[in-house]
C-alpha cells in the first residue's frame, strides 16, 4: 500500500512539474525573439529555430554549471563536425537538457495514456529520457561522419594536385593555392581555403596545417600534415614522398570501393526478407488459394 502511494505521488509530482515547466518554457519561446542570441552565427534549421529560446533558457540557468574541460572537449567535437559556427559548446549542453525535458514530458503523457499509473511509466520515462539526452550527440556524430566521408572522397584528388605541382617545381604553398582555385567545390576545399587565410594573416605553415588537422579530425589529413612537416624538418624532397602517398591513397580508395561493393548484397538481405519476399509470396499464392477455395465449394 505504501509503495503504491509513493509511486502515485512520484508520477503525479513529475507530471505536474513538467507541465508547469513546459508551460512557462513555451510561453518564453512565444514572447522572446531569437535573433539577439545568435550574432555572427550560421542560421538555424526551421524546426530548431522555433524552440531555440527554450534552449537558451537552459543555457542561461545551467550553462555556468558545465566545466571548462567539458566545454573544450565539446568544442573539439563541434570543430570536427564542422559546426563551430552553428552553436557554441554550452548551447550543445543546453540543447541536451531541452531535449531531455521534452522527452520526459511526452513520456509521461504517453505512459499514462497507455498504461495508467504503473511502474511501466517510469520505465518509459527512463528509456525516452536517455534517447532525448543522447539524441543531440548522435546528430553531431552523424554530421561528423558525413563530413569525414566527403573529405575522404576528395582527399586523393587534393594529394594528386599537390604532388603534381610539387614535382613541377612549385612550392607547397603555391600548390595549395592552386587546389583552392581549381579544385572541386567541397568541404575539403573550404578547409584548405581557411589554411590559406591563416597563412596570409601571419601564421606559419606548420601552425596552419596543424590547425587544419585538428579542425577536421581526419586520419588521412593528419598523415598528410605529418608527412609535410617531417619533410620540412629533414630536408627531404616533398614531391617523391607525396607521389608514394598519393599511390597509397588511390589503392586504399579502390579497396574501399571493393569493400562497399561486397557489402551491398549482405545489406540487401534484410529488406528482401522483410518487404519484397512476403509480397512476392502473396502475389504467387493468392490465385492458388482462390482456386483451391473455389474447388472446395
* Burial class of residue 106 (count of CB atoms within 10 Å of its CB; 0-12, 13-18, 19+): middle
The share of the chain scoring above pLDDT 70, in percent, equals 86
With H, G, I as helix, E, B as strand and everything else as coil, classify residue 111.
Answer: helix
Distance CA(124)–CA(111), nearest Å, equals: 7
* Burial class of residue 204 (count of CB atoms within 10 Å of its CB; 0-12, 13-18, 19+): exposed
- Name the packing angle between helices 238-271 and 219-234 (round to 10°): 170
pLDDT at residue number 130: 92
Is 94 a member of any domain? Answer: yes
pLDDT at residue number 135: 92
What is the CATH number for 245?
1.20.81
Mean pLDDT along residues 67-82 = 88
pLDDT at residue number 31: 53
Is 280 a member of any domain? Answer: no
Mean pLDDT along residues 60-77 = 86
One domain, residues 119 and 164: no
Instruction: Give CA angle at 159 (154, 163), nearest 5°.
Output: 150
Instruction: Give CA angle at 263 (260, 266), nearest 5°.
Output: 155
pLDDT at 30 over 60: no
Q: pLDDT: is 4 or 164 the higher one?
A: 164
Question: Which range is least confidently modeled, 1-5, 166-170, 235-239, 254-258?
Answer: 1-5
Cell of 34: 531569437
Which among 135, 142, 127, 66 has a CA at the least distance from the CA of 95?
135
Is 293 a member of any domain? Answer: no
pLDDT at residue number 33: 47
pLDDT at 145 over 50: yes
Distance CA(42)–CA(45), nearest Å, equals: 10
Is 286 a member of any domain? Answer: no
pLDDT at 112 over 80: no
Domain count, the chain: 2
pLDDT at 76 over 60: yes
Output the CA torsion sign for 63, 64, 67, 69.
positive
One domain, residues 39 and 63: yes
Mean pLDDT along residues 247-259 = 83
Tell me the pLDDT tens digit for each residue of 120-139. Answer: 878 888 888 899 999 999 99
Structural domain containing residue 166? 149-252
One domain, residues 155 and 112: no
Mean pLDDT across the chain: 81
Cell of 248: 597509397
Give the end of a domain, one of 92, 127, 144. 144
Distance CA(128)–CA(276), nearest Å, equals: 32
Is 273 a member of any domain? Answer: no
One domain, residues 126 and 175: no
One domain, residues 134 and 157: no
Is 228 a member of any domain? Answer: yes
One domain, residues 69 and 157: no
pLDDT at residue number 34: 43
One domain, residues 32 and 118: yes
One domain, residues 60 and 177: no
Cell of 255: 579497396
Question: How many other CB atoms sit within 10 Å of the CB of residue 198?
Answer: 17
Is 174 a member of any domain? Answer: yes
One domain, residues 62 and 136: yes
Cell of 202: 601571419
Is 267 a member of any domain? Answer: no
One domain, residues 35 and 158: no
Tell me the pLDDT tens digit for each residue of 149-158. Answer: 888 888 888 8
Tell me the pLDDT tens digit for each residue of 176-194. Answer: 888 888 878 888 888 888 8
pLDDT at 21 over 60: yes
Mean pLDDT along residues 4-33 = 61
Longest dimension (CA), the chain: 93
Instruction: Give CA angle at 170 (165, 176), nearest 5°.
Output: 60
Give the end of a domain, one of 117, 144, 171. 144
One domain, residues 1 and 131: yes
Question: Which range is least confidently modeled, 18-22, 93-97, 141-145, 181-185?
Answer: 18-22
One domain, residues 159 and 45: no
Question: How many other CB atoms sit within 10 Å of the CB of residue 17?
Answer: 13
* Burial class of residue 161 (count of CB atoms within 10 Å of its CB; 0-12, 13-18, 19+): middle
Tell me the pLDDT tens digit for each residue of 49-62. Answer: 888 877 887 887 77
CA atoms in the 13 A half-sphere facing the CB of 113: 6
Give the end of a domain, one of 144, 163, 182. 144
- Stated as kind and residue range, the H or E segment containing 74 is helix 68-81
Amino acid at each position: 500500500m505504501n509503495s503504491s502511494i509513493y509511486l502515485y505521488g512520484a508520477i503525479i509530482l513529475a507530471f505536474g512539474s513538467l507541465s508547469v515547466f513546459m508551460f512557462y518554457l513555451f510561453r518564453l519561446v512565444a514572447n522572446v525573439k531569437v535573433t539577439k542570441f545568435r550574432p555572427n552565427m550560421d542560421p538555424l534549421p526551421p524546426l530548431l529555430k522555433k524552440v531555440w529560446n527554450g534552449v537558451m533558457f537552459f543555457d542561461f540557468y545551467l550553462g555556468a554549471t558545465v566545466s571548462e574541460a567539458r566545454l573544450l572537449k565539446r568544442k573539439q567535437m563541434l570543430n570536427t563536425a564542422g559546426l563551430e559556427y552553428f552553436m557554441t559548446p554550452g548551447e550543445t549542453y543546453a540543447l541536451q537538457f531541452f531535449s531531455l525535458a521534452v522527452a520526459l514530458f511526452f513520456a509521461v503523457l504517453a505512459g499514462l495514456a497507455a498504461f495508467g499509473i504503473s511502474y511501466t511509466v517510469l520505465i518509459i520515462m527512463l528509456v525516452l529520457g536517455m534517447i532525448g539526452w543522447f539524441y543531440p550527440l548522435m546528430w553531431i556524430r552523424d554530421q561528423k561522419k558525413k563530413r569525414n566521408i566527403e573529405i575522404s572522397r576528395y582527399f586523393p584528388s587534393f594529394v594528386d594536385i599537390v604532388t603534381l605541382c610539387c614535382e613541377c617545381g612549385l612550392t607547397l604553398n603555391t600548390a595549395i593555392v592552386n587546389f583552392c582555385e581549381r579544385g572541386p567545390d567541397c568541404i575539403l576545399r573550404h578547409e584548405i581555403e581557411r589554411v590559406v587565410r591563416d597563412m596570409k594573416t601571419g601564421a606559419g605553415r606548420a601552425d596552419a596545417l596543424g590547425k587544419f588537422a585538428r579542425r577536421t579530425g581526419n586520419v588521412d589529413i593528419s598523415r598528410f600534415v605529418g608527412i609535410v612537416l617531417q619533410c620540412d624538418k629533414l630536408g627531404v624532397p616533398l614531391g617523391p614522398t607525396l607521389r608514394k602517398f598519393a599511390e597509397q591513397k588511390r589503392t586504399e580508395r579502390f579497396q574501399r570501393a571493393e569493400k562497399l561493393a561486397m557489402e551491398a548484397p549482405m545489406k540487401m538481405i534484410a529488406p528482401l526478407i522483410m518487404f519484397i519476399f512476403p509480397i512476392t509470396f502473396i502475389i504467387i499464392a493468392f490465385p492458388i488459394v482462390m482456386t483451391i477455395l473455389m474447388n472446395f465449394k
